[in-house]
Amino acid sequence: MELEKMNIKFSQQVEIFVRDWAFVLFKKQYFSFYENADKYVTNIIESIYEKISHKFLWQIPQQEHFRLIYGKNIKYIKHQVANSKTVWYIFFEYSETENAVLIHHITNGQKDAHRIN
């Protein structure tokens, strides 16, 4: 069964975050080479496009924090980078009428895991 192509949009805040993400990771010395940081970010973005279309992967935050900020219909998916303990959380809203997702926030487990579960 082929999934209907979902329209995926990024909020302005997330667009800025994604644009600068690899540079920030490189500057904070998480990666020795910028190219490796860029590949890492590209892998996560590609994973978002792949995973977000599978509604069975969607979860609802148990804590109120993200629902208060982004609305009661906020959902998220998790992405764990291969060979890494880092888990990334991608928060979004889904519009069934438009078959569209608006990504509001991307964060990692080290920073916000206590606010999710």
Residue 83, Ramachandran bin (φ over 0: left; ψ between -120 and 50: alpha; else beta): left
Asked if residue 2 is part of any domain, the answer here is no
Residue 111, domain CATH: 3.30.2310
Query: In which band, very low, low, confident or very high, does the pLDDT at 91 lie, cut at 50, 70 and 90?
Result: very high
Instruction: Name the pairing type of β-strands 100-108 and 7-10.
Output: parallel
Asked if residue 21 is part of any domain, the answer here is yes
**pLDDT on residue 5:** 79
User: How many domains does the structure of the chain reveal?
Assistant: 1
**Looking up tokens 């996560």, which residue turns up?**
44
Q: From start to end of the chain, where are the E strands?
A: 7-10, 75-80, 87-95, 100-108
**108 within a domain of the structure (yes/no):** yes
* pLDDT of res. 23: 95
For the CA atoms of the chain, what is the radius of gyration? 14
In a domain, 107, yes or no: yes
Is 25 within 8 Å of 40 (Cβ atoms)? yes
**Chain centroid to CA 111: how far?**
14
pLDDT on residue 1: 39
Q: pLDDT at residue 116 above 60?
A: no
90: in domain:
yes
Does residue 1 lie in a domain region? no
DSSP letter at 73?
A: T
pLDDT digits (tens, 9 = 90+) for 30-68: 999 999 999 999 989 998 888 888 888 888 887 777 788
What is the extent of the structural domain holding 49? 7-116
The predicted model scores a pTM of 0.82
Note whether residue 24 is domain-resident: yes
